[in-house]
């Protein structure tokens, strides 16, 4: 989507604030001993109270309202009564929704309670890489150059990037052009970011894997070589200068 009038920006801001607030509240609500299903239902109620509809449920018939991935699950984890959160778990919550015809997306990985399994370094790397990537995005910048920056920063910190997951355009639908905003440099990708376009920028930083593979449930993705992954995501508007971070309220980079 390209923002062409004030009403579109306001619509995107409202949808983005709904997903950002939901993500922030879910992160605060998460406790050891809680099931991922209970956490998902808490998020679903917040979205509903705000008049927003779950994007994965609406678009793909996803069996949950938000994606909650724990430990070795990289993304698209299905909320379950059987998955009980534990102290030190690496958790990723991804919240996307539609509100009044506008769609927004955000997500973040965090360690639940004490970092007894030493996941915080990975989480911090993902946050720092997203922050740096966003600060370099403006109209005219090559999409592949941002991917290059992400992979370079990951390697610097001793991590890898997942090569078959990426960010995407968003606005009037959950996934729009430009698609495949990857975390590495694709030298054949000559596209550039366009001023006023709305994109969901996300990191996929991992310890050992470079590809995500789908489990037999048809949704949950794990690493081709195991290990762990951290993801952080903001919906932004590209400008001539620093992007407008529409989902900033989620506090994922704090």
Q: What is the pLDDT of residues 153-194, one digit of tens each?
A: 999 999 999 999 999 999 999 999 999 999 999 999 999 999
pLDDT band at 149 (very low <50, low <70, confident <90, very high): very high
Taking a C-beta distance cutoff of 8 angstroms, is the pair 231, 202 a contact? yes
Q: What is the pLDDT of residues 117-141, one digit of tens each?
A: 999 999 999 999 999 999 999 999 9
Q: Which residues pair with 205 in a beta bridge?
A: 161, 230
Give, as one character, the DSSP assignment of residue 216: T
Angle CA 124–63–204, to nearest 5: 25
pLDDT band at 93 (very low <50, low <70, confident <90, very high): very high
Q: What is the pLDDT of residues 76-90, one digit of tens each?
A: 999 999 999 999 999
Q: What is the pLDDT of residues 13-67, one digit of tens each?
A: 999 999 999 999 999 999 999 999 999 999 999 999 999 999 999 999 999 999 9
Taking a C-beta distance cutoff of 8 angstroms, is the pair 62, 77 a contact? no
Confidence (pLDDT) at 152: 98
Three-class DSSP category at 46: helix
Confidence (pLDDT) at 216: 97
Can you tell me the distance from the alpha carbon of 191 to that of 210, in angstroms, rounded to the nearest whole number? 23
Any idea how long the chain is? Answer: 254
Can you tell me the distance from the alpha carbon of 191 to that of 197, in angstroms, rounded to the nearest whole number? 13
Q: Which residues pair with 48 in a beta bridge?
A: none
Can you tell me the distance from the alpha carbon of 66 to that of 87, in angstroms, rounded to the nearest whole number? 21
Q: Which residues are annotated as a binding site for a divalent metal cation?
A: 94, 105, 168, 202, 233
The Cβ-side half-sphere exposure at 65, using a 13 Å CA radius, reads 22
Three-class DSSP category at 60: helix
Confidence (pLDDT) at 82: 97
Can you tell me the distance from the alpha carbon of 159 to that of 129, in angstroms, rounded to the nearest whole number? 11
The Cβ-side half-sphere exposure at 200, using a 13 Å CA radius, reads 33
Confidence (pLDDT) at 46: 98
Confidence (pLDDT) at 246: 98
What is the pTM (predicted TM-score) of this model? 0.97
CB atoms within 10 A of CB 124: 14
Question: How confident is the model over 219-233, as a mean pLDDT?
Answer: 98
Can you tell me the distance from the alpha carbon of 204 to that of 189, in angstroms, rounded to the nearest whole number? 19
Confidence (pLDDT) at 200: 98
Q: Which residues are annotated as a binding site?
A: 76, 94, 105, 168, 175, 202, 233
Taking a C-beta distance cutoff of 8 angstroms, is the pair 231, 203 a contact? yes
Second CATH level (architecture) for the domain 6-250: Alpha-Beta Complex (3.90)
Domain ranges for the chain, please list them.
6-250
Phi, psi values for residue 94, rounded to 5°: -120, 120
Q: What is the pLDDT of residues 185-201, one digit of tens each?
A: 999 999 999 999 999 99
Confidence (pLDDT) at 68: 98
Angle CA 64–202–7, to nearest 5: 80
pLDDT band at 70 (very low <50, low <70, confident <90, very high): very high
Confidence (pLDDT) at 237: 98
Question: How confident is the model over 213-224, as a mean pLDDT?
Answer: 97
Which among 107, 124, 128 has a CA at the least distance from the CA of 200?
Answer: 107
pLDDT band at 254 (very low <50, low <70, confident <90, very high): very high
Taking a C-beta distance cutoff of 8 angstroms, is the pair 234, 251 a contact? no
Q: Which residues are annotated as a binding site for substrate?
A: 76, 175
């Amino acid at each position: 989507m390209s923002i062409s009038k004030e009403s579109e920006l306001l619509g995107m801001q409202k949808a983005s604030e709904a997903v950002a607030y939901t993500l922030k509240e879910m992160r605060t609500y998460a406790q050891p001993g809680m099931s991922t299903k209970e956490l998902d239902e808490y998020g679903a109620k917040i979205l509903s109270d705000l008049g927003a509809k779950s994007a994965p449920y609406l678009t793909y018939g996803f069996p949950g309202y938000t994606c909650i991935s724990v430990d070795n699950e990289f993304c698209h984890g299905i909320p379950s009564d059987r998955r009980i959160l534990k102290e030190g778990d690496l958790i990723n919550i991804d919240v996307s929704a539609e509100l009044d015809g506008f769609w927004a997306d955000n997500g973040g990985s965090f360690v639940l309670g004490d970092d007894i399994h030493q996941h915080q370094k990975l989480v911090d790397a993902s946050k720092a890489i997203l922050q740096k990537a966003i600060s370099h995005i403006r109209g005219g910048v090559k999409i592949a150059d941002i991917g290059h920056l992400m992979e370079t920063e990951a390697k610097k910190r001793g991590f890898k990037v997942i090569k078959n997951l990426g960010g995407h355009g968003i606005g009037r639908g959950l996934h729009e052009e430009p698609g495949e905003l990857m975390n590495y440099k694709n030298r054949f990708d000559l596209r550039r970011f366009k001023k006023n376009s709305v994109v969901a920028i996300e990191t996929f930083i991992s310890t050992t894997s470079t590809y995500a593979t789908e489990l037999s449930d048809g949704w949950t993705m794990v690493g081709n070589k195991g290990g762990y992954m951290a993801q952080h995501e903001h919906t932004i508007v590209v400008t001539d200068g620093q992007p407008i971070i529409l989902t900033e309220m989620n506090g994922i980079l704090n």
